[in-house]
Each structure stands twice: as C-alpha cells, then as structure tokens.
Structure 1
Amino acid sequence: MNSRQKWLLLAVGLGIMLNPLNSSMISVALIRLQRTFGMEYTSASWIIFAFYIASAVAQPVMGKASDVWGSKRIFLAGQTMVFTASLLAPLAPGFGWLVALRILQSIGTSMMAAVGMALVRIHISAKSGAALSALSLFLSGAAAVGPFVGGLLTYWGGWEAIFLVNLPLTAAGYLLARKVVPDDAPLPANSRLSALRSRIPTLGIPGMLLFAFGLTALLLGILSAKSSGHAGPAAISLMSLGAVLLIAFVRHEYRSPSPFIPLRTFHENPALYRVNLEYVLVNLLYYSLFFGMPPFLQTVRRLSEYQTGLLMLCLGLCSLAVAPAAGKWVDRSGPRPALTGAAVLMTLGSLLLTAVTSHSSFLGIAASLAAFGAANGLNSVAMQAALFRSAPKTIIGVASGVFNTSRYLGTILASLLIGLVMGDRFTAAGLRWLGGGLTAVAFLLLILSRRHQPEKEDGR
C-alpha cells in the first residue's frame, strides 16, 4: 500500500471504530446508569437495545444511500451526527432523552460503519487481506478495549465521560477524512437539489420503509416481552406486525425494479446468506460473553468498574495480538482455516464458562476471555474476507450494511439470551448455563465454517 492508502485506512479506521467503541464502553457503565436513574437492570438495558436496534436498521439504509449518493458524503455526515449526540448526551434531563441521543449516536456511527468497508473495497484492491487486518485493529480493538476504557472513564468521570470521549475522536476523524478520502463523483452543477431528487427513486424507498418498520416492530416486541417477563398483547401485536411487514418486504424486493436490498442478487449468491448467518452466530457468541461477564464480575465478584475493565482487557489484547497474523493467514489460505480456528476457540471458551463458580480464580475467567478474544481477532478479518468474496462490487455498500445488520441481530440475540438465562440477577450458576448454551452454538458454527470453499477452489 502507498502512503495515501495508509492515510485512507487511518481515516476510515477512526470512523468505523466509533460504533464498536460506543457499543462496548456501555457494558461496564450499565450498573452505574442503573443506580443513577434508579431502575432495574432490564429497564436500564434499553440503552443497549436502542443502540443496536437503530444500528440494525441504519446499516443497510446508509449502505444503500452511499451506493446512490456517495460514500464520502455519508461518512462525513456520520462524524457530524456523532459529535452532536455525544455533546448533548451528558446534558440529558432524563433517561428517555439519553436513550434518544444514543439512537442518534447509533445512526451516526452506522453511517460510517456501513460505508467504511466499501471505501476500502473500492480504493484498495491489492493486498486486501492486509487492509482488512488493519481495519480489524480498529474494529475488534475498539470493541474489545471498550470495557476497559469505559470502566476507566466511568470510574474517574462518571457515565458522562463515555460520551464526551467521542468529541476529540470525531473532530480528528472528520478533518482527516475530509482531506484524504477521495471525493465522490460530483453532482451536476446546475442543480444539486434536483440531482439529489433524481436519485431518490433508486434508493428503493418503499422497501426501505418496510424493512425499517418491520425490523423495528419485531425487535421491540421481542424486547418488550423480555423486559416484562411475558408476551403480553402489546408485545405479540408488535411481533406480528413486524413479521407481516418483513414478509411484505421480501415480496416487494423480489418484484421491484429498484429494490432497497437486491434479494435476487443475494439469491444468486448463496454464499452471501451463509456468511450473514455465520456472522449472526459469531456475534451471538461473542456478545453473550461480552455483556454477560461484566455484570457477573461487578455483582458476584464485587469488582469495581476499573477492575472489571482491566480484566476484560484480556479480550482486547488477544484480539489485537491475533489480527495481524489473521490478515496474512487469510491472504495465503483464504478465510476457511481462520473461520474454523475461530470456531474451535469459541467452543473452548464456552466450555471454560461451564466450570465457573463464584470462587473461580481470575486466571480461569481470563482464559475464557482470551479464547474469545483470539477468536474475535480471527473472525474480524476472515468474516469480512468471506463477505468480499461473495458480494459483487456493484452492491458492496448495501451488502456491507446487511452484513453489519447481521452483527447487531446477533448482539440483540445475545442480550435476549443473557436475560433469559440470568434475569435481573447474575449468578455463577447462570453463567454456567450460559456457557452450556454457547457451547452448542459454537459447535454449530464450527460445522458451518467447514462449508466454505478451500482456497484452491476459489479460482485464485
């Protein structure tokens, strides 16, 4: 890679890291927020759910928007939105306002995450494995060190600090991206507004609305049932409405000449479906540990936010240590071996959880975290490489958006699984049951990883 491409990677990395960083810092601050606003854990968890629901909807929407209006425009707008939301969040007069600003923050970070990979795919064609490895240092590194950063900030500056830390990051990222990211194709000079209007039909607005409202209604129904402990009429109505709208979305997309998500192209590339299914499972496994371990350490083992973040750092350090080698491995052998190795590590880490007690040594807990961290470093590169192999360049923006939506669906499922197993009280027994469930999921992922074509059959 030349110097300009390296600066491009840095600019994209500073942008895409904000989504995993902000989604992970909150894991250690959640108990503090619960106590500050005087609510139960399940109610306080809505600050997590809202972020992921908004991300799940916004990722493909922003990916599609970048395909139509240009990646750089969307990327810079995302930086501005995150800066604004992070500036206002500490001033929120109540928890509802804080959740609303988290949604705005989520949409802004999703704008960058959805187009960041597309920018790399378009502008860096040689040594794509090395480029993906570099980006994974931002993605997996931010997600994995987020609990430590969040614990440190919360311990010394309160929950407000986890929002304020975004201000210098977004300011620096905006200035760098504005300078080094190649400009989008210029809009016609005669009327920029009319040019934008002329591109609106290609967005697939009807399909976009069906997808957004359907997915939101379905997830709200599921999460409402989880929060209340039973599926009442309101939750059932929301889930039913969501299912009907998503079915209508699928029917519309297959028939529309300008679909929001080109399902026909996905149908012609079955590997796209498999990659997204695997990504759901990968994130179900990872975030079950990610969100389940900090409350256990704080409530059962009585660690402070700082101590919890320090122990969770095992996750980040192992991800960062593995990612560079993962890029070289994927370039040399394709994604299949790395995906299989990651599945084996997640199986091992899940099995270690089944042996945890309230008196287990921190070394045993760290071993499980290390296994998941190393697996995350492998998956960060190999899953993206598998996506790029299966997605045509013409839809890389929306394909990246759908791919990231799969991540958030896995994350939401992880939160639901934790609530189902733990409820409002975290115990060692609950963590063992969680480990047993994750072992079964990890074994399924191991089977799916073996279905990827070996490198020699990929036509390279």
Structure 2
Amino acid sequence: MAIIQTAIKRKEMLLITAVALGTLLNPLNTTMISVALARLQEDFHLTFADVSWLISTYYLISAIGQPLMGKWSDLFGRKKVFILGLLLVTLSSSLAPLSPTFGWLIGFRIIQALGSSALFPSGMGMIRSQITSNQAKALGIISIFSSTSAAFGPSLGGLLLHYGDWPLIFLCNFPFIIASFVLAWKLFPKDPKMVGRAAEMDWWGVALFSSAIFMWLLFFLALADGLSLWKLIVSVGLTFWLYRYELGQSKPFINVAFLRKNMNVTRIYAQFILTNIAFYSIMFGIPSYLQSVQGMDPQKTGLVMLSIAGFSVLVTPLVGRWIDLSGSRPPLIAGTALVAVGSLLLMLIQDNASAVTIFLVLCVLGIANGFNNLSMQTALYDFVTKEETGIASGLFMTSRFIGTILSSSLLAALFGKNITTSHLHSMAWTCAGLGVLMFALTMRMPSRSVQKAIQ
C-alpha cells in the first residue's frame, strides 16, 4: 500500500511539474523582454512609446486569451488545449527571432501570448480533475510558481542579452516547452469525448470583453497626449454593456454574477489589479531607466533586477508560515505597506546613482512582492469553495493582465518620449499611491476569526 501511495504522489508531482513548466512561459515572457526594450529601440529605430506596443499587445491577448482558452479547455478537452498552447509557443519562439520588421515581431508575440494563455487555465483544470487531495495547495503552487517566474524574467533576459542578442529571449523557451510537452503527453489522461461545441461559446461576451479591454488600452495609452473624452465614454459604455449582457447569460464568458455575489473576492481582484500595475511598472520601467539614464549594460541591469526576484523567493517560505499561523491578512498588510515604502525609496535614486543603492532599494520592493504574491493567492482561496476554484483562478489571472495592461499604459505616458530621473520619480509617486490604495483594501478584508465565523 505504501509503495502504491508513493507512486501516486510521484505521478502527481510530475503532473504538477508539467503544468508548472508550461504556465511559467507566459509570465516569464512578459518580463524577459523588459531588458531588451532598449536594444529593440535601437534595432528597429523606435521610441519607448512605440516599443511599448510589444508589451501592451501581449497583455491584451493574454487578458482575452486566458478566459477564452479556459472555456475551450472545458469544451474540447484540457490535454488538447494544453498541447495546442505549447505548439503555438513553439511556432512563435521559432519565428520571432527571424522577424524582418517590428510589425512581424508584434505578430509573433501575439501568437506567443495566445499559446501561453492556453496553458494556465487548461493546466489548472487538469490539476483540479486529477489531484483530489491537497488540491488547493497544488493550485497555489502553480499560481506562485507562475508569479515568481515573472520576477526572474529581467535577470534571465539580461544574461541572455549579454551572451547573445534579443532573439535568445525567444529561443530560451525551448527547454521549458520540451520538458512540459513530454511530461504532459505521458501523464495527462486522454480527454473524454467532446462534451461541447464552439456554438456554445458566449461569443458576444468574448467580443464585448475584447472591445472593452482594447478601448481602455487605447484610452490609457493616449493619456500622454491629454485626456480623450470620447475614448473614455466609449470605454465606460462598453464596460457597462458587458456587465449587463453577461448578467443575463446562463454560461457567460465573464461571470459577473459570481463577482457580484462574492464581494470579498471582487475586492481581492481589484487589489490584484493594483498590485500588478505597481509591480509591472517597476519591472519594465526600471530596466529601461537603468540602461538609458544610468548607462548600465544588459547583464548588469539583469543582476540589479535580481534583487526583486531573489528577495521575493527568499521571503516566500517565511510568509507561508506566517499565513499558516495567522491567515492571509497580516502578511498582506505588511506587503502592501512595503509597496508604498519601497516606491518612495525610489526617490533616493538620482542621476549616476550607485548600483548598490539601486539594488538595496529594489530589495524592499522584492520583499513586498514576495509578501503580496503568496498572501493574495491564499486570500483568494479563503473566500471560494472548491467548486468555484476554476472560475476564481481564471478571473484572478484576468485581473493580473488588466493590471499589466494598465502598467504599460502608465509607462507609455511617463516614458513615452524620453526617460529621465524625473520621470522615474513620477512613477515612484504613482506606485506609492497604489500601495496606499492596496493597504486600504487589505484593511477591509475580514480577519481569520471573522472568516471562520462566516463559514
């Protein structure tokens, strides 16, 4: 019996590994490119506002692709969608280094975003169906693994640029793709006979959601040139139309009824959006600033950015123990406060600042990221039932990409024409303000004792 249980646990760990290796491709590729932006500007003769479309389109497709591919995996089979996602990432990673123009590069990044977006929802669904014991823990591991890989992106990207050029950022995906493909092919059970049809998709919901996200993206990207009233009106109108339409659907693309019923979960999503605006503004803004203003090469930039990833990983086990003892709220209070403090410490960075000073300031933001990542993941699962895990996880990732879209818009507004220390300080004040809002939302979160009383 013990041998059988050991074999089952080993198979479950390998299955989790297959999903983890696949799901890290999306967040890793969102941030690896950050160190290459300055190089791409030189290669294709672009401004930062131009090159920011490489970020924005990736986020836009990911925000739409996550829930879309989640629905497809439920309808057509999780293994099929997971393998399809890996094949699309393979295609894009092979062709992107050969891009003759910036437009072609954006096109291949769109394919990459769509393919990598298939991996998280289908992988989460596979874990839910195959792992019955400690399911929430397995789902949490995948989510945390996904978030941590984003923090390591700039450091890995810096090393790749040092030893090669920006095409290596795409080619380095192949070890992860191959390992994930082999494990998934062997371990994922065969999909049951097709249980749905494409006609069952809420295509109007998909169209409204895509249009609303696209219009908000255009609105925020245009803020650098002033407030566009008509874009704001259209964005708000499409959002309200989406809300009213999805409320009346039995199988909605975006389950707004779930959000309205679970206000604590909705607040967590709102906080996660704010968290990602701050995190990705720093992850993309700092590398470009270090290379453009401080004159650092990509390798040194990557090493400095390692402070965020390294300290995120270091504090995660400690945060896990704290959560086990007192729940998600206390460490989340500490994490959101550190976002505000760390952002204000960016004001210490002046022209020709030492690498040590920048490293130490970013360490504070790395600790904040470690606190917020794990605490946000566990807080979400505190307020949803096991049956709601799938939909909650999908909307959680959608919130992440809405935040990343807004971060690219913020950076385009601040760094669009040129990058200076003054612009960095403006970003710091904005992120500090976001930290205060996150702190306020955390204070409204019920404590563990209140949660137990509600349950």
AA of the residue aligned to 2:264: A
Q: Does 1:181 align with 2:188?
A: yes
- Cα deviation for residue 17 of structure 1 reads 0.6
Do the aligned residues in 1 keep the contact of 2:16 with 2:142 (CA within 8 Å)?
A: yes
- Relative to structure 1, is the Cα distance of residues 137 and 222 closer, same or farther in structure 2, using a 3 angstrom cutoff? closer
TM-score (normalised: structure 1): 0.90
- Give the counterpart of 2:204 among 203, 206, 211: 206
Flag structure 2 segments of 5+ consecutive residues without an equivalent: 1-7
Change (3 A) 1:457 1:119: farther
User: Match of 1:106?
Assistant: 113
- How much has 1:330 moved relative to structure 2? 2.7
Task: Find the aligned partners of 2:371 and 2:246 in 1 and give their Cα distance.
Answer: 34
Partners in 1 of 2:134 and 2:323 — Cα distance? 11
Supply the distance in 2 between the matched residues of 1:88 and 1:67 (Cα, whole angstroms): 30
The corresponding residue for 2:294 is 301
Deviation at 1:96, TM superposition (A): 0.6
Aligned to 2:55: 48
Tell me if structure 2 keeps the 8 A contact 1:81–1:105. Answer: yes
Are the aligned partners of 2:220 and 2:406 in contact in 1 as well (CA < 8 Å)?
A: no
Among 73, 77, 84, the alignment partner of 2:84 is 77
TM-score with structure 2 setting the length: 0.91
The alignment status of 1:331 with 2:324, answered yes or no, reads yes
Q: Distance in 1 between matches of 2:426 and 2:80?
A: 46
Q: Which position in structure 2 is the counterpart of 1:408?
A: 401
2:174 to 167, 171, 189: 167
The answer (yes or no) to whether the contact 1:352–1:364 under 8 Å persists in 2 is no
> Pairwise CA RMSD of aligned residues?
2.3
What is the aligned partner in structure 1 of residue 284 from structure 2? 291
- Matching of residue 62 in structure 1 with residue 41 in structure 2: no
Q: C-alpha displacement at 1:349, in angstroms?
A: 0.8
- CA 1:241 to 1:447, structure 2 compared with 1: closer, same or farther past 3 Å? closer
- 1:265-276 alignment runs, 5 A limit: 265-276=258-269
Distance (Å, rounded) in 1 between the aligned partners of 2:196 and 2:430: 49
Q: Tell me how far 1:352 sits from its aligned partner.
A: 0.6
Alignment partners' CA distance in 2, 1:380 and 1:125: 24
Structure 2 match to 1:263: 256
For 2:366, the aligned partner's letter is G
Equivalent AA in structure 1 for residue 422 of structure 2: A
Tell me how far 1:341 sits from its aligned partner.
1.8
Cα distance between partner residues in 2 of 1:63 and 1:238: 30
Give the Cα separation in 2 of the matches to 1:133 and 1:323.
12
CA gap of 1:338–1:136, structure 2 versus 1, over 3 A, is: farther
Partner of 1:144: 151
How far residue 283 of structure 1 moved from its aligned partner, in angstroms, is: 0.6
Please state how far the C-alpha of 1:130 moved relative to its aligned partner.
Answer: 5.0
Structure 2 equivalent of residue 154 of structure 1: 161
Cα deviations by residue, 1:83-123 (Å, 9 ceiling, x for unpaired): 11111111222111110110110111111123334444554
* Cα contact 2:246–2:253 (8 A) shared by 1: yes
Closer/same/farther in 2, CA of residues 372 and 175 from structure 1, 3 Å limit: same
Q: How far apart, CA to CA, are the structure 2 residues paired with 1:311 and 1:20?
A: 19
Q: 1:262 to 1:423 in 2, by over 3 A?
A: closer
Quick one: distance in 2 between partners of 1:277 and 1:221?
A: 19
Aligned to 2:220: 222
What is the aligned partner in structure 2 of residue 446 from structure 1? 439
- Count of residue correspondences: 446
CA distance in 2, matches of 1:397, 1:207: 19
* Consecutive aligned runs of 4 or more in structure 1 exceeding 6 Å deviation: none
* Letter aligned with residue 218 of structure 1: W
Structure 1 residue 253, shift from structure 2 partner: 1.0
- Contact kept? 2:294, 2:353, Cα under 8 Å: no
Unaligned regions of 5+ residues in structure 1, if any?
none
Q: Residues 224-373 of structure 1: matches in 2 within 5 Å? A: 225-226=222-223, 229-230=225-226, 240-373=233-366
- Quote the Cα distance in structure 1 between the aligned partners of 2:422 and 2:105: 33
**Aligned partner (choices 26, 36, 46) of residue 29 of structure 1:** 36
Report the counterpart of residue 94 of structure 1 in structure 2: 101
d(CA) in 2 for partners of 1:226, 1:88: 33
Amino acid at match of 1:356: I
Structure 2 CA distance for aligned equivalents of residues 299 and 166 of structure 1: 27
Quote the sequence identity (%): 37
| Cα distance per residue 1:50-92 (max 9 Å; x no partner) | 1011111111222233333343332222111111111111122
Is the alpha carbon distance of 1:130 and 1:394 closer, same or farther for their aligned partners in structure 2, counting shifts above 3 Å? closer
* Contact 2:340-2:436 within 8 A present in 1 as well: yes
- Shift in CA distance, 264/339, structure 1 to aligned 2, threshold 3 Å: same
Letter in 2 for 1:378: F
Q: Cα distance 1:328–1:370, how it changes in 2: closer, same or farther (>3 A)? A: same
